[in-house]
Amino acid sequence: MNPLRLIHSEHKKGMSRLIQMDMRLQRHEGTSRRNANKQCGKNARSRSTRNLRVIVCAALVLLLQGSIPAVHADDLDQQISAYREKLAEYQSARAAYEEQAAPYWAAIAEKRRRRIAKQHDGDRPTAADYVLAQPPLYRGPPRPLNPEKPQGEFEYVPVVADFLEQAQEQFGFTPDRPANNVDYARAYAKVALAAGLTPEQCVKIYAFESGGSGGYAVQAGLEFDRPGARAITTALGYNQLLATNSIELLAEVGDRILASLKAKALDAGGPQRERLESKIAILKKMIAFSRSVPDRWAAHTRLAGTAKGLAIHALNLDIDIGPLLQVHKLLTSVTYASRKGYAPPLTAAELEMMNLTGDGNGFDMVTMPADLRKKVPTSNFFQRGGYERNPVAIRNNTVAALLAATEAKMEEEAQLPGAKALAAAFTNAK
């Protein structure tokens, strides 16, 4: 992904999702963290030799230790002293910034509450319902690193291998994975067209979300096979569903997904029907689990972090269920706009805004008059933390500029091999 992908601060309903656009940080299919540890054919002599080497190395370390600590301690004292000076400078600069930022973001929150109330009553927001000034930007020194704390440690993010493992352990489920990306693309195109989505919407959003080359199992942060690559979120597949999205979709539209699977089973025969019926039984259990909490994003996020939540995310890898989940992620936004009385077809960029920022925020931008789009800062659609960590939203700091940047990125990445292959799948599915 590019830095525009910073919107995936896991909030479908939008305000806490950082707009990930310039970005789409690198992702590719996650692989297992396990390594085979068994080595056969080693004789007693080789094991003894290795053990001797370990003992010798340990002895050398002990001999050297006497001369190291004093030098290290002096160096650490100097680092701590420098750190405290820099920390004081940082804190002073942040305090000055906070005097400007706090009132601004309080006004953003108040205006947002006012817009939501007006929209609930069926009224359209006007320019007076937005903060029209650009937010203050912090230009002081960065927060210094504490030399007494280890650096470079990251919280582990589950990957495809984890989803598959938990699916088997928690539900006895193993996804029927396609033989290749082409087969999955064909299945996705068929489901998308039947749902009323357009090839342009699907191909451009796929290109934007996956970088234009990702496969059906592409995960955020692992788009490319490069040293040190790591997953940055659980975002998975063509439309980068988070584990929370998978839970939410089963909770909200699980019955529709079940109906589609049952219809497919009725048309099948023999072993294929038995396979689908078994899958339906497992899916029912997953839906029940997803509905075991209130239909709220925070509650779904908590479920997504459990073993069963990770197991449910593996549904995206299944050739029968995965395309349904990926399509419904977009379809919910189309349905939302239609329910609000919006008749024109959503452009790919407009649909992506709803996909990334949440339906309410995205629809607000979609229905905004063109002249107002040029005036309204993007900060109106973010939580403060999301905006301050989002260079794309800062650089493209009006609604018009952000939509244009999204469209331009989509056009560029739609020319890449993966996007062209998906477009071909749509052509063949018509």
CA–CA distance, 351 with 252 (Å, rounded to integer)? 19
Max avg pLDDT among 12-21, 55-64, 289-298: 289-298
21 SS3 class? strand
- 284 pLDDT band (50/70/90 cuts)? very high
Q: At what angle do helices 297-304 and 243-267 cross, to 10 degrees?
A: 80
Whole-prediction pTM value?
Answer: 0.78
Max avg pLDDT among 4-8, 30-34, 393-397: 393-397
What average pLDDT is seen over the chain? 84
| Residues pairing with 20 in the sheet | 5
CATH number for the domain whose boundaries are 3-30+159-245+306-429: 1.10.530.10
Stretch 221-240: mean pLDDT: 91
Determine the number of helices (DSSP H) and then strands (DSSP E) in the chain: 17, 4
Stretch 74-80: mean pLDDT: 86
Residue in this structure with the two tokens 């993966």, named with its chain if needed: 418
Antiparallel, parallel or unpaired: β 221-222 and 26-27: parallel
CA–CA distance, 332 with 346 (Å, rounded to integer)? 13
Under 8 Å between Cβ of 21 and 407: no
The answer on pLDDT for 10 being more than 60 is no
User: For residue 73, what pLDDT is reported?
Assistant: 67
The CATH 1.10.530.10 domain(s) of the chain lie at 3-30+159-245+306-429
Look up residue 54 and give its two tokens: 């370990």
Q: What are phi and psi of 219, to 5 degrees?
A: -120, 145
